[in-house]
Homo-oligomer: A and B are copies of this chain.
Amino acid sequence: MVRAAILGATGYTALEVIKLLLRNPEVQVTAATTRQEGSPSIASIHQSLTGRLDLKCEDLSPQQIAERADYAFCCLPHGASTAVIPQLLDAGVKVVDLSADYRLDDAAVYREWYGQEHGDPARLGKVVYGLPELFGDRIPGQNLIANPGCYTSTAILALAPLLVRKLVEPTGIIVDAKSGVSGAGRAPKQNFLYCEVNESLSAYGVGKHRHQPEIEQILSTASGQSVDVIFTPHLIPMDRGILATIYAKPTSTATDKELLATMREFYAGKPFIRVVDHLPATKDVSGTNFVHITVRRTKGYLTLVAVLDNLIKGASGVAVQNFNLMAGFPETTGLL
């Protein structure tokens, strides 16, 4: 039995990791951390865990975590991750980091987009980016995986086949993405009160969202060319789900059918990717680790549509998928 710790256990992604691990017969959740005082029970923080997991959330040191767990799912905010992960690794704990801290290769880019110095720059560029459909063969044996962002996974998984096969131009790509509200986290902010978000719709971070450089870096790496995107996120009045509508210029006269075939061939054997003929809805993949993708020629552009569940395939599900690969379990364990 593998023992897992959840760091920063009070948020939504932590809750989803726990729920997924409860279905995983090979794993036991043995520790959960929080800075809240009084070591509250996990069920008092997440009522849905009542009677399902008997565990206290404690303010544990890396050494204490190492005594209790073999793996840590780090659900801390960016910046806080680098303050604890190096010590965990030194103590022999393997880590899936759900924060953004180890995703970018370049400390200067991190500084520009995150507004702070990186806390562990020596590791940057050496950590595998945990998108198993692209980098799955490098994940087994790693002791630290940078779990991808939710928007980034959606955009990258849609674009990768066509960029790698050179079927679209690598520049001038527009990613118009829409997300449910759980992506904003559980901290009490007026912007995310029910009555602010419900029955409303808005764009945010136009031209300034941190997932833009992440999308560009990974797609450039994956396709061996400099990829440039415009990224616009939107807030949708629903709990969960991301849909990305992507506009890219085709380099060929390939038909929809041919493009879909290329994408299917690219993802052959990948258990969570479905290239579909119809236009997918986020509800089709809600609560699952699946991604549905399609493409249409529309005058001078290809229009791609991809959907996933931001909390599962966009965060906690892919974290468990990465963990499965690191630990040598079948990739889909606990995820179907």
Question: How far, in Å, is A130 (CB) from chain B's closest CB?
Answer: 22
| Contact assessment for A51 and B186 in the assembled complex, using a CB-CB cutoff below 8 Å | no
Number of interface residues of A (CB under 8 A): 73
Q: Mark A279-304, 1 if CB is under 8 A from B, else 0.
A: 11111111110101000111111010
Which of A101-109, A138-146, A198-206, A319-327 makes up part of the contact surface?
A: A198-206
Given contacts A228-B299, A230-B300, A300-B172, A181 and B202 within 8 Å (CB-CB): no
The interface residues of chain B lying within 8 Å CB-to-CB of A241 are 199-201
The interface residues of chain B lying within 8 Å CB-to-CB of A189 are 188, 193
Which of A1-9, A76-84, A113-121, A231-239 makes up part of the contact surface?
A: A231-239
| Contact assessment for B284 and A50 in the assembled complex, using a CB-CB cutoff below 8 Å | yes
| Contact assessment for A283 and B12 in the assembled complex, using a CB-CB cutoff below 8 Å | no
The interface residues of chain B lying within 8 Å CB-to-CB of A245 are 176, 203, 232, 234
| A260 contacts partner chain B, Cβ-Cβ < 8 Å | no
Most chain-B Cβ atoms within 10 A of its Cβ — which of A182, A240, A283, A290? A283
| A47 contacts partner chain B, Cβ-Cβ < 8 Å | yes
| Contact assessment for B188 and A279 in the assembled complex, using a CB-CB cutoff below 8 Å | no
| Contact assessment for B50 and A282 in the assembled complex, using a CB-CB cutoff below 8 Å | no
Given contacts A188-B188, A207-B303, A296-B207, A197 and B194 within 8 Å (CB-CB): yes
Question: How far, in Å, is A20 (CB) from chain B's closest CB?
Answer: 12
CB-contacts of A189-239 with B (<8 A): 189-190, 192-204, 206-207, 228, 230, 232, 234, 236-239
Task: Return the chain B residue nearest A49 by Cβ.
Answer: B284
The interface residues of chain B lying within 8 Å CB-to-CB of A207 are 296-299, 303
The interface residues of chain B lying within 8 Å CB-to-CB of A300 are 172, 230
How many copies, total?
4
| A122 contacts partner chain B, Cβ-Cβ < 8 Å | no
Q: How far is the CA of A303 from the CA of B232 in the complex (A)?
A: 9
Q: How far is the CA of A198 from the CA of B241 in the complex (A)?
A: 12
| Contact assessment for A193 and B195 in the assembled complex, using a CB-CB cutoff below 8 Å | no
The interface residues of chain B lying within 8 Å CB-to-CB of A172 are 300
| Contact assessment for A201 and B247 in the assembled complex, using a CB-CB cutoff below 8 Å | no
Q: How far is the CA of A224 from the CA of B8 in the complex (A)?
A: 50
Q: Out of B181, B194, B280, which one reaches A181, CB within 8 Å?
A: B194
The interface residues of chain B lying within 8 Å CB-to-CB of A181 are 194-195, 198
Q: How far is the CA of A281 from the CA of B193 in the complex (A)?
A: 14
Task: Return the chain B residue nearest A300 by Cβ.
Answer: B172
Q: How far is the CA of A245 from the CA of B181 in the complex (A)?
A: 19
Q: How far is the CA of A194 from the CA of B183 in the complex (A)?
A: 11
The interface residues of chain B lying within 8 Å CB-to-CB of A336 are 22-23, 52
Q: How far is the CA of A192 from the CA of B188 in the complex (A)?
A: 8
| Contact assessment for B194 and A47 in the assembled complex, using a CB-CB cutoff below 8 Å | no
| A111 contacts partner chain B, Cβ-Cβ < 8 Å | no
| Contact assessment for A274 and B202 in the assembled complex, using a CB-CB cutoff below 8 Å | no
| A318 contacts partner chain B, Cβ-Cβ < 8 Å | no
User: 8 smallest A-B Cβ distances: which pairs?
Assistant: A200-B283, A207-B298, A202-B281, A176-B176, A194-B197, A47-B284, A181-B194, A188-B188
